[in-house]
Structure 1
Amino acid sequence: RKSSSSRSSHKSLTEEFKMQEEVTKSCRDKHGRWTNPWPTWRFPSYSMLFRFLLLDKNHSSVATSKEVLDSELPVLEPYFVQNPEALDSAGMRVTWLGHATVLVNILTDPIFSQRASFLQFMGPKRYSGPPCTVEQLPRTDAVLISHSHYDNLDAGSVASLNARFGGELHWFVPLGLMDWLAKMGENVMELDWWEENCVPGHDVTFVCTPTGATGQRGMITGYLISLWSSWSVLGPNHRFFFTGDTGYCPSYQEIGRHFGPFDLAAIPIGANLPRDVMKGQHVDPEEAVQIHRDLRPRLLKAMEAHFCHSVLSHEYYLEPPVRLREALEQKGLKPESFFTLHHRASRIIVAQDVFD
């Protein structure tokens, strides 16, 4: 079969809490388009978008000199490029590959192309090239897709991953993306919020959970016809959370109550200004800290994403980590409780890092 949306036969982890407490469900508007269920959520008006695209001053000021950029945002080779024979550690091995692409034995929102666009000669371009090729990736069994924006669902990267891993690779996507993914490969699991599935033969459960974002792919076709999601990855020893793109929403408190504490969470801190345009789908560092607290991380470990990939907003490109440190201080949290990685860096979190 080219794809599969059937639910696994194992006992549902969400079944018990659904009986105990009502959770936020996905919903559509009167036109049948997906929408966020929170009354505080608003899509930017046309006047806001016009001002953002044509009138507002862009303060990103990305360095044009390669030497300066390499100094400010050092690009480190991932461990699997430095040593392809490296063995897994006793803990969690996490590698940030840029933007929202994170490798924790599984891969999130993979983008290995130079531009976040359907055409590779236009659209937002990476500050520097990807840290590795798809061919250099270690074996991975699952890919999580949060939504259909070009910088999160990249056609070239999907095709390359399917060519590399073939039928061994399993894709987990929110509702509305199965047909698109199934044309390019197999083993596609399409889920609604609070539904779950797993890779056959593995004891890791993937739960599709709410997030505050949008899911259009193009301005005319594909507008809001696919859902957006975060992902709760529940293993026998560790729990990982991936927000995808998100504005702040109260469902993170629900997720933390039902699936927390998490050992590691990938939470975005960039692409957040101007707030009236970005608030609905990109949190700022202060809101990222609130998500971090909502998820009840076991030892306040988290990782940032959606920062220093390409110019998508107007804040100074080195500002998000600075504001993050200030937000942690204001909340009385230790700076190391929400760590950030160097641009496209690799890090191994061994057992004592997670559990000490």
Structure 2
Amino acid sequence: MKNELFDALDQLEKEKGISKDMLIDAIEAALITAYKKNFGSSQNVKVIINRDNGSVKVYSRKEVVENVENDLFEISLEEAKKIDPNYEIADIIEEEVTPRNFGRIAAQTAKQVVVQRIREAERSVIFQEYANRESEIVTGIIQRISKGTVYINLGRIEALLLPNEQIQGEIYKQGSRIKTYIVEVKKTTKGPQIQVSRTHPGLVKRLFELEVPEIHDGIVEIKGISREAGSRTKIAVYSADINIDPVGACVGQRGVRVQNIVDELKGEKIDIIKWDKDPAIFISNSLSPSKVLKVEINDENEKSALVVVPDYQLSLAIGKEGQNARLAAKLTGWKIDIKSESQYKGE
């Protein structure tokens, strides 16, 4: 078994970085199980692979005791001394019990262990690669759809787009390319499992980083995102450079930058908001596209504010089913009470 096995182990150590000694230890452990299974033995044994000539030998191991209770694991001091007068209580006696046809079994077992360890090593490499890419965007090809879950081929591994991470109403077609956001990379018995999302706010953040060089370079900063996937997103941006218009940078010339992101999100509306350290200004900006007449900070500790808008803008400020107000509150972290001008004056 020497040449074939040891040459293969040397190759694996060079190419895959799998320790040769660790592999031999693993093969020896597997051979103990194989010996017991194939030869119906329950005795305590160990297997030694000779590192020089590749020979495989099986040894039974028995402890020297005063009174034998189980002769599979124990030998009396009297019997031990017949083998060697120097044996004492608690010594371990090893006797070779290698079966005549054990070489064939050893070769098969070694192959199985090596294949398994290669698979484990490759899984570990893939896990490390993608574990370091959590919170990033990946592009893949939709492989199949089963029971609502979309399986996406990323090249060396499949990613899972679960139903609760899918944009409602979005159609996924087998063979089409898709961008997703890596939510979690988990180790499982079947190897690494990558869970991705189309609904996570992080997807919008990463798309802006890809599309807007000023964000990628740190000139424009994303301060917050609130999103109702498939419908509307609000994103707050800021630049410390007074010569840079952060909103304009994100919109792009003739709106091309934001339009590319809207297209990727299949028509999801995006409001780009200018962040401000003054909460009143930030709240006012966050209710875009509605105009705001006045913001009154009611309680800074409770983070509650009253916003007054023109009468004709009230429904726009609140939004369909309250969406605009809800996203603004989530973006700013403030509780926002919106009133029309006539409601405010009539109090």
Shorter chain as normaliser: what TM range? under 0.3
Q: TM-score under structure 1 normalisation? A: 0.20
**Pair member with larger Rg:** 2
Structure with more of its chain in helix, by fraction: 2
Greater RCO structure (CA 8 Å; 6+ sep): 1
